[in-house]
Structure 1
């Protein structure tokens, strides 16, 4: 699962009523840094703004709904801001005046977990799609995931019409034939700006001049990563005689882009996307990522500097405020449990944070024995968020999926390429969903001259005369949208009509989602060993311990989501 301003003036993000924009003055030197600050509870906006100014910062945008501001300042700002009683702290974002790398050095740093992209680099002809049976979508036979949650049966009576689903991700390809009919271009927004390089000079999103429009600002119907398009397709690809169908094939897809092309997700775009969702009648949002640069945000870990502790406290505070704001306005919050294959309820070691260089020389370091009571991954562990673990075709918890009794709320199909009798890789055991054409060409997945699929992890459907493309991915990023899709069906079935279509209280949606999930007991023995025979001939084993009873438990939470049961008794 999982990377803003290059000029001197902030650019409006299209959030009516929530962002107050201001000039960033002459914040253009290499010493100027972008920060996100959270105002302290009980402080007035005026006193917080004064504290920012006193610390040497200048506000370039302000989210007045949740008391969060984006600030440009010098490198000494964080320490001064953290010492102010009017501010929670400052989360450093990036150097504003970083140089653009040479075009020849553009390398996409895919931050998405390896389990989602491990098929890359494997060549060979793609599989030939089976012929459809009956009145189904052309590639429906490849969607074992939909059968697992009984979505086809549910769709006979409920398809999510009138429900808006927000995709907080890397973007959505609104032109894809299996997304376009349900894509809401009017409401969709892009809350990010491409980042050419990080503070160490390493390529992030790549040179802006290589973009189609030569700028760092992507349109709200663009996805140059593919992750968000895949997620959106799983939730709401329509029944239109093309490719596949989603869980809620008549729900509206609203692109609320919060992720970079490279797969990083930063604080400011996420909080702005969530507050936008709350203000614009979004019913469900899917969040298949964590907020960078910290996998786990700790407020008092001794290995962290005071500045880093304050930064992580700021991330926790700002994200929780945004989550609370959205949920209080009717947004059901769904998130991926994570692909680290760890128990989130136990002490852990984090050697991956910080994963983004926001200041020169910054690099990840080891933090041992993280206390789950004081260290949290956001937004997955945020209050009011439905955390989703992943399953494979056999319904076992996927080998990569994180887990934990009391952490996981429900499980859903996320794919498991090694969920077979002999533990060898099988692409078909992962999740098939939409693949942007331009990205497929760039990644060498299809021949642009002939349209032929060149890799075994992609599939084409040309039955309608126009080819559409799909890719296999696996991860809790793929599990979460299945649960979000079922949540959309619940809103469609039980929600009341309002100005935006349908609405249903998030607490009610969660109650139905969990109570109707198919209970799945821990394996016996509870210490379950995964065996994977990798393509290079090596064998990898790992053991995960499932705690709890039949339901809830650490692998499946309340159970595997069930679309049919969620909209009515069998």
Structure 2
């Protein structure tokens, strides 16, 4: 599994219902579809790419643009009328340029750099799978009333989730959507709380609700199953427990089914819209949208990606969905003046570029209204890998840290959760921190069923515990070198935002 190094949040002090398109000055072209001719543009003389075409949302404009797409040599995969996003395939190398000249098109561009015939997540390091013998040995350490493997779940105790479960494990009327690599709903810890009716496969950009389509293609696509268990593994006398073991969890698969597991923007657009339309209250997003680690607004393709995904996640917010996302694993100060991106595009040949953090954005974690989460270890300190930044990170949560050793049977500072095929294993990363926050948000939604996404985010912040910036220089890996500088005070700072979330307070 690969990446997620999220960067600065868009500096938009606006309500979440505002369109990022408008606030960043996307303007419709005054050109007409009549400028396009079908004759040479239909030729397959370029790579067959996926495109995002973002338009005004009136029916007349969308119908007109769809005709222009066909004339420019494109074929429509799906149209999301309510947000004005059209997913298109085209082999015309001039398709993007031509369609951007059409009246009513506000932004358009390729969603990838490699052909469709060619082919991230946020775990830091390889998964550590528990053997059956290790499971049996660990189960002997379980206290009365605990799940068999709970003795190794220091993260539950760190945020009071073990005590919270005795008061209120969460409502089955609340669902967390795991937008990820797929979830193995046959896992005995996930099956009791899984919602098939709210699950789908969005890889193509169009939701496939065929039974089982949401599952991972193989055991190597373990990420989504681990995340789902962290959120809602049942307290059923088997394996582990989730932070919110009474809520439901759904799977919205967006990862390509190959070894790279890339998350392309049309898949993520589909996922946010599906979640919104199927009554999902919270989504967890432990990834950045491929192929660009940062999407720069002076590039028409990357600009279209930001526009399309933002329209989708804002639509979800308007429908009552809170979106939670990981901050990244590069130990970067997300409030810095310049960033180096050496991994983009990750679907072809990456090049090193220096990007302006005020003009180039990690999607979806930096979009307005999205809750950005940093990671902590068992000592409550920032995890050595976790990105940070004052005004960027909203809250923190346990994500694991191999250098912060817990007093548990396995002495493993990572996060223990579910894996495909009935297995369990340890992972660390902001990928693991984000689902802790999503689960606490689900507990809050259970207690306050009429709370809006903005109100839920405010509650997460108000009930968090902020340790404040460390008094000593931060040396996360213990090598004697200062690794990061925390800026801010006890109320809000760059390492923890408003603090580490608290599940016990959420149910009280």
User: Could you tell me the TM-score, scaled by structure 1's length?
Assistant: 0.74
Q: Please give the alpha-carbon distance, in whole angstroms, between the structure 2 residues aligned to 1:488 and 1:113.
A: 21
Instruction: Tell me what 1:37 maps to.
Output: 52
Residue deviations 1:338-375, cap 9 Å, x none?
11110112121111111112xxxxx111111x222111
- The question of whether the paired residues in 2 share the 8 Å contact of 1:38 and 1:317 is answered with no
Instruction: Tell me what 1:291 maps to.
Output: 289
State the Cα distance separating 1:50 from its structure 2 match.
Answer: 3.5
Alignment of 1:471-482 (within 5 A): 471-482=425-436
Alignment of 1:529-568 (within 5 A): 529-531=475-477, 541=481, 543-568=483-508
Residue deviations 1:264-297, cap 9 Å, x none?
1011111111111111111110000000001111
Residue deviations 1:223-260, cap 9 Å, x none?
53000000000000011000111011011111111122
Residue deviations 1:500-533, cap 9 Å, x none?
xxxx3111111111100011201123x412235x
Alignment of 1:122-521 (within 5 A): 126=134, 128-129=137-138, 130-161=140-171, 162-192=173-203, 219-222=213-216, 224=218, 225-261=221-257, 262-300=260-298, 309-346=299-336, 347-357=338-348, 363-368=349-354, 370-420=355-405, 428-437=412-421, 468-496=422-450, 504-521=451-468
State the Cα distance separating 1:541 from its structure 2 match.
Answer: 4.8
CA change 1:84–1:29 in 2 (3 A) is closer
Identify the structure with bigger relative contact order (alpha carbons < 8 Å, sequence gap 6+): 2
Instruction: Tell me what 1:450 maps to.
Output: none
Q: Please give the alpha-carbon distance, in whole angstroms, between the structure 1 residues aligned to 2:175 and 2:192.
A: 14
State the Cα distance separating 1:58 from its structure 2 match.
Answer: 2.2
State the Cα distance separating 1:190 from its structure 2 match.
Answer: 0.8
RMSD between aligned residues? 2.8
Secondary structure of the equivalent of 2:66? helix
Secondary structure of the equivalent of 1:313? helix
CA change 1:430–1:351 in 2 (3 A) is same
- The question of whether the paired residues in 1 share the 8 Å contact of 2:50 and 2:116 is answered with no
CA change 1:92–1:483 in 2 (3 A) is closer
State the Cα distance separating 1:123 from its structure 2 match.
Answer: 11
- The question of whether the paired residues in 2 share the 8 Å contact of 1:2 and 1:288 is answered with no
- The question of whether the paired residues in 2 share the 8 Å contact of 1:173 and 1:436 is answered with yes
CA change 1:132–1:380 in 2 (3 A) is same
Instruction: Tell me what 1:207 maps to.
Output: none
State the Cα distance separating 1:175 from its structure 2 match.
Answer: 0.3
Instruction: Tell me what 2:31 maps to.
Output: none
> Does 2:110 align with 1:91?
yes
Residue deviations 1:149-187, cap 9 Å, x none?
000111122112221110100000010011011111222
Residue deviations 1:426-445, cap 9 Å, x none?
861000000112xxxxxxxx
Secondary structure of the equivalent of 2:213? coil
Q: Please give the alpha-carbon distance, in whole angstroms, between the structure 1 residues aligned to 2:351 and 2:367.
A: 24
State the Cα distance separating 1:61 from its structure 2 match.
Answer: 1.7
- The question of whether the paired residues in 1 share the 8 Å contact of 2:121 and 2:288 is answered with no
Secondary structure of the equivalent of 1:428? coil
Secondary structure of the equivalent of 1:167? strand
- The question of whether the paired residues in 2 share the 8 Å contact of 1:520 and 1:550 is answered with yes
CA change 1:217–1:266 in 2 (3 A) is farther
- The question of whether the paired residues in 2 share the 8 Å contact of 1:530 and 1:543 is answered with yes
Structure 2: gaps (5+ residues): 4-40
State the Cα distance separating 1:93 from its structure 2 match.
Answer: 3.4
Deviates more, 1:32-41 or 1:397-406: 32-41
State the Cα distance separating 1:548 from its structure 2 match.
Answer: 0.7
Q: Please give the alpha-carbon distance, in whole angstroms, between the structure 2 residues aligned to 1:124 and 1:231.
A: 21
Instruction: Tell me what 1:528 maps to.
Output: 474
Aligned residues: 452
CA change 1:491–1:272 in 2 (3 A) is same
Instruction: Tell me what 1:78 maps to.
Output: 96
Secondary structure of the equivalent of 2:197? coil
Secondary structure of the equivalent of 1:133? coil
User: Could you tell me the TM-score, scaled by structure 2's length?
Assistant: 0.83
Residue deviations 1:404-426, cap 9 Å, x none?
000100000000011249xxxx8
Instruction: Tell me what 1:68 maps to.
Output: 85
Q: Please give the alpha-carbon distance, in whole angstroms, between the structure 2 residues aligned to 1:470 and 1:270.
A: 27
Q: Please give the alpha-carbon distance, in whole angstroms, between the structure 2 residues aligned to 1:184 and 1:124.
A: 28
Q: Please give the alpha-carbon distance, in whole angstroms, between the structure 1 residues aligned to 2:457 and 2:333.
A: 22
- The question of whether the paired residues in 1 share the 8 Å contact of 2:57 and 2:82 is answered with no
CA change 1:168–1:343 in 2 (3 A) is same
